[in-house]
Amino acid sequence: MKITSIIKQLVLILSLFFLATSSGQTNSKFKVVLDAGHGAKDFGAVYNGCVEKNINLGIALKIGKILEADPDVQVIYTRNDDTFIELVERANIANRANANFFISIHCNANVKPGPFGSETFVMGLSKSASSLAIAKKENAVITLEDNYKKKYAGYDPNSPESLISATLAQEEYLDQSIELASRIQDGLENKLNRKSRGVAQAPFMVLHKAFMPRVLVETGFISNLEEGAYLNSEEGQNNIAKTIADAIFRMKVEHFGGTMPVIEIKKYEKPVVKDSTPKVSVQTQTKDTSKEIKKPADTKKLDTSKPVFKIQLKASTSKIESKPENFNGLDKISFVLEKDYYKYMYGETNDYVIAKMQLLEAKTQGYDSAFIVVFKNGIKISLNEALKK
């Protein structure tokens, strides 16, 4: 009798275990890792009484609070207080969590007080001296870590390009990283009315070991007196956080489903002064086809019952006539009206490879923030759903 009772108890325990495991798998949350750059003994940039590590933490916590209002989102912080976290451990936190996105928050700085504006980076090699300089500055924090020469064997802090050898293994995450970075920059420029310095690639150590779509946001120049004060203010941090959270939610909805919350972003009202520093566009490791590119052709008949890939070029509150001259020479323009925004798209194909070629063409025509959207039977679906075998 005792043996029978023990067996029944074991069966009950195992049943509860498998039920809990099954429930956890079917109700998995969308995971976002927020990384507040620097911390504790690593102050980051310090100018005019503004301390980068504090600004980074303030913005990261505010982004997290907005995201956590959605029960389908789980936020993981690499730090939520004034703690020193090693660069490789920041990526490890994201990898262990099997996160969907990794966003590292930083402030930029320059020895000259004039430069201002935000810039978002994805992992990759850059020929831009300014991008490499920023990566070198951010990567220098490893020298504060114990035994860093052994831990980061083969990496030279003075030569950030030495990180690039491993990026080919992470190529699958590049497209979504660029799309997330573009959405963040679009929001900061068009919704918050801040200067955008664009999206760029650079070999950042903190992005190097994270195996997921990941970006590093330089929210502005702490060395610029006016911008530094804005970054250090509650209003500035709240609105930057809202803008970044808005971009994350839009990526989530586009690629993973769910509903888009309404996030009220207060525009920065002071007119933006022109900055002579050129805006940087992302440079991917592809053959330079900026001058000439063969127009991708799809001769197959379109099947709307299958995923139809299009390239979203831009969104506007105004209706624009679908003529090539209004879209930098691109033809076959269509649009959808969503929540008072006209979303203009280029091309349509059932072939994902051709869609990627059309995306490249759109970018060479000046649409740096273009990305792929998918429809099936006239209804928008996520890219992840469309690519499922």
pLDDT digits (tens, 9 = 90+) for 239-274: 999 999 999 998 898 788 888 888 999 888 764 455
Whether the Cβ atoms of residue 212 and residue 222 lie closer than 8 Å to each other: no
Name the residue with tokens 């504060």: 144
pLDDT at 365: 87
**Tell me, what amino acid is at 240?**
I
* pTM higher than the cut 0.85: no
Q: Nearest CA to 244 among 225, 218, 221? A: 218
Evaluated on CA atoms 181, 182, 186, 187, the torsion sign reads negative
**Ranges of residues in the chain whose predicted pLDDT is under 70:** 1-27, 125-172, 270-299, 339, 369, 389
For 3-14, the DSSP string reads HHHHHHHHHHHH
pLDDT at 280: 53
pLDDT at 20: 45
pLDDT at 147: 61
Question: What gap in Å lies between CA 97 and CA 186, rounded to an integer?
Answer: 28
Which residues, listed in sequence order, are joined to residue 341 by a DSSP beta bridge? 338
State which H helix or E strand residue 25 sits in. Answer: helix 2-26
Provide the CB-side half-sphere exposure for 275 (13 A, CA): 20
pLDDT at 139: 53
pLDDT at 363: 82
| Structure token digits, residue 284 | 């991917």
Question: What gap in Å lies between CA 363 and CA 356, rounded to an integer?
Answer: 11
How many of the other CB atoms lie within 10 Å of CB of 259? 9
pLDDT at 9: 61
Name the residue with tokens 């609105």: 239
Question: What gap in Å lies between CA 282 and CA 382, rounded to an integer?
Answer: 24
Q: Nearest CA to 106 among 231, 247, 275, 243? A: 231
pLDDT at 10: 54
How many of the other CB atoms lie within 10 Å of CB of 323? 9
